[in-house]
Amino acid sequence: MQALTNRVQAVNRKPMTFLERLYLINIIKGMLITFSHMFKKQPTIRYPEEKREFSPVFRGLHVLNRDEEGRERCTACGLCAVACPAEAITMEAAERVEGEENLYREEKYAAKYEINMLRCIFCGLCEDACPKDAIYLSETFAPANYTRKGFVYAKSDLLIPNPKTEANAYAEAKGVQA
Amino acid sequence: MTILALDWGFIIEKLIMIAIVVFASLGIALYTTFGERKVAAILQDRPGPSRAGPFGLLQPLADGLKLIMKEEIIPNAASKWLFILGPGLAMTASLMTCAVIPWGSAIDIFGRHVELQIADVNIGILYVFAVVSMGVYGIMIGGWASNNKFSLMSALRAASQAISYELAMGLALIALLMTTGSLSLKTIVEQQIQGHWWNIVYQPLGFLIFFITAMAECNRTPFDLPEAENELNFGYHQEYSSMKLGFYLFAEYINMIMSSAIMATMYFGGYDLPFFNEASVAPNIAALIGVGTLLIKIVLFIFLFMWIRWTIPRFRYDQLMGLGWKTLIPLALFNMLLTGAVILAKL
């Protein structure tokens, strides 16, 4: 039969020689191989103490951003919710009232902002869609939870700490951000 | 009143020694399980157990505790007394071997001359053989009493394997006995110390056969057919739980230690430390060095057992029988003839 590729290898059907049939030499060869593995570097990462570094493009848990003055950037335009292929994002908009200028950057803000982490596929399309730089995917992932409800992250879970009032927490949150 | 004339010191001395040897063997067996897991891990580029205590050193204690705390289950259909007898017998038989192993020369303590051997029987090797062949009863009875076809199959395998390999083992030893002329393990060791050459030099083929058969007797991979998980689920101890299972697993490790000790004693000079003049230090210290030497030899053999286990896959059953009957027995017979011929030529 004509070979379809040039990768065909003929099977070696030669009868074993005496030394091969003795089996001992091959056993010793195999044992030397396993012995050499004693000196190889172990790829194990001892997890709770050591952690594998995420790649710089890792897409993890979402963060709702604030501007330099600590005001929320999100305007509840809904583009992220539209962009979301898993339909994980819901929000309710509200209008900024007099005296809330130090809380919200623009006249409209998200009164309620929820991401269902069980639906989310961490594609990052919300990040791409956002015109206000308000949502980012960080380098942490959603921790385990006991209930399904626990995976619906509310605005308070997502919002980054205020750089004005909680500078340390903000810097920490910023540190793990992509 | 001969009974009062008993040397009580002698009895106490022996009792203390028995306690030391039994507990030391149990302790070593405990840590051999740890060593097994560590060796396996390191050969496979893994760290192995490392959580319990420093370097995972408390792992065997955790394992033992777990085994003891487990629920004890005796199957309804099992024959109860035999079911309980099995693991006990396996454990007893494997521990009994240590009675004739010379662990060192002798120490002088409290004005007594204490031989570091529980019993210097003049038929030491025969005794070892008798006890080793009793070990298979533990497996047989356990497998039979479980009333489980897999256990029974496994027990049958273990028995036929033990019988086949004991023959070759005995024949390999006969060649050794022809050169030493004694069945006492102590005499064999002393001959090796005085003769400057260990028996491995005179009996390399005999040692090879003995080593392979010892591995088969201990049911170690590549001869662990009684525990072939893919064919027999778990083997003869499938129905066992809690510490009864622990006894079976432990007995295997003690068997391994004892066969290592026997091999070190008979072929590798026992407690003889090469290139070291025992007369240059105090006799007690020399004896202790001897004990340490024997222990190191045992550990090396155990490592070899483990190294082989984590390298070679299990034999097929027909290959096992073929190797035993068609290769090892003729080879052992040939070795015997060769030894006889050399002895005759020397006369």
Secondary structure of chain B as H, E, C letters: CHHHHCCHHHHHHHHHHHHHHHHHHHHHHHHHHHHHHHHHHHHCCCCCCCCCCHHHCCHHHHHHHHHHHCCCCCCCCCCHHHHHHHHHHHHHHHHHHHHCCCCCCEEEECCEEEECCCCCCCCHHHHHHHHHHHHHHHHHHHHHHCCCHHHHHHHHHHHHHHHHHHHHHHHHHHHHHHHHCCCCHHHHHHHHHHHCCCHHHHCHHHHHHHHHHHHHHCCCCCCCHHHCHHHHCCCCCCCCCHHHHHHHHHHHHHHHHHHHHHHHHHHCCCCCCCCCCHHHCCHHHHHHHHHHHHHHHHHHHHHHHHHHHCCCCCCCHHHHHHHHHHHHHHHHHHHHHHHHHHHHHHC
Are B45 and A41 a contacting pair at CB < 8 A? yes
Query: How high is the pLDDT of residue A67?
Result: 84
Query: How high is the pLDDT of residue B51?
Result: 84
| Predicted confidence (pLDDT) per residue in B70-129, tens digit | 888 888 888 888 888 888 888 888 888 888 888 877 777 777 777 777 777 788 888 888
Asked if the C-beta of B312 comes within 8 angstroms of chain A's C-beta atoms, the answer is yes
Per DSSP, A61 falls in state S
- In percent, the amount of chain A with pLDDT more than 90 equals 13
Query: How high is the pLDDT of residue A125?
Result: 92
Per DSSP, A39 falls in state G
Contacts A16 to B, Cβ<8 Å: none
Domain membership flag for residue A127: yes
Closest Cα in chain B, distance from residue A19 (Å):
14
Query: How high is the pLDDT of residue A177?
Result: 44
Closest Cα in chain B, distance from residue A160 (Å):
36
Contacts B45 to A, Cβ<8 Å: 37, 40-44
Contacts A26 to B, Cβ<8 Å: none
Domain hosting residue A103, numbered range? 62-175
Q: pLDDT at residue A85 above 90?
A: yes
Classify strands A135-137 and B106-109 as parallel, antiparallel or unpaired: unpaired
Asked if the C-beta of B46 comes within 8 angstroms of chain A's C-beta atoms, the answer is yes
- Alpha-carbon distance B204 to B300, whole Å? 18
Of the candidates B43, B47, B50, the beta carbon closest to that of A37 is on B43
Contacts A48 to B, Cβ<8 Å: none
Sign of CA dihedral B328, B331, B337, B338: negative
Q: pLDDT at residue A96 above 50?
A: yes
Closest Cα in chain B, distance from residue A14 (Å):
21
Domain membership flag for residue A160: yes
Closest Cα in chain A, distance from residue B37 (Å):
13
Residue in B38, B39, B43, B215 to test binding to A, most A beta-carbons within 10 Å = B43
Query: How high is the pLDDT of residue B1?
Result: 46
Contacts B42 to A, Cβ<8 Å: 37-38
Per DSSP, A116 falls in state E
Task: Let me know the angle formed at the C-alpha of B206 by B203 and B211, rounded to the nearest 5 degrees.
Answer: 120
Sign of CA dihedral B179, B181, B183, B185: negative
Are A44 and B43 a contacting pair at CB < 8 A? no
ipTM exceeding 0.95, yes/no: no
Kindly list the distances between the CA atom of residue B311 and the CA atoms of A31, A34, A90, B218, in Å, as whole numbers in the listed order. 6, 6, 57, 17
- Domain locations along chain B: 10-44+77-346
The confidence band for A82, taking pLDDT boundaries of 50, 70 and 90, is: very high
Of the candidates B45, B307, B308, the beta carbon closest to that of A42 is on B45
Q: How many structural domains does chain A have?
A: 1
User: Tokens 């929320």 — which residue?
Assistant: A72
Domain membership flag for residue A71: yes
- Alpha-carbon distance B79 to A104, whole Å? 79
Domain membership flag for residue A165: yes
Residue in A31, A41, A45 to test binding to B, most B beta-carbons within 10 Å = A31
Closest listed residue to residue B270, CA positions, set B93, B126, B117: B117
Listed as ranges, residues in chain B with pLDDT below 70 are: 1-6, 278
User: Tokens 């909680």 — which residue?
Assistant: A166
Are A43 and B311 a contacting pair at CB < 8 A? no
For B121-135, b/e burial (b = at least 16 CB within 10 A) is beebbebbbebbbbb
User: Tokens 């070990």 — which residue?
Assistant: B135
β-sheet bridge partners, residue A64:
A135, A159
Q: Are A27 and B311 in contact (CB under 8 A)?
A: yes
Kindly list the distances between the CA atom of residue A114 and the CA atoms of A70, A78, A81, A140, A151, in Å, as whole numbers in the listed order. 20, 12, 10, 18, 10
Is-above-0.80 flag for pTM?
no
Closest listed residue to residue B86, CA positions, set B253, B246, B287: B246
Q: What is the largest CA-CA distance in chain A?
A: 96
Domain membership flag for residue A169: yes
Q: Tell me, what CATH number does A156's domain have?
A: 3.30.70.3270
Per DSSP, A64 falls in state E
Query: How high is the pLDDT of residue B229?
Result: 75
Query: How high is the pLDDT of residue B5?
Result: 63
Domain membership flag for residue A94: yes
Distance from the Cα of residue B139 to its chain's centroid: 16
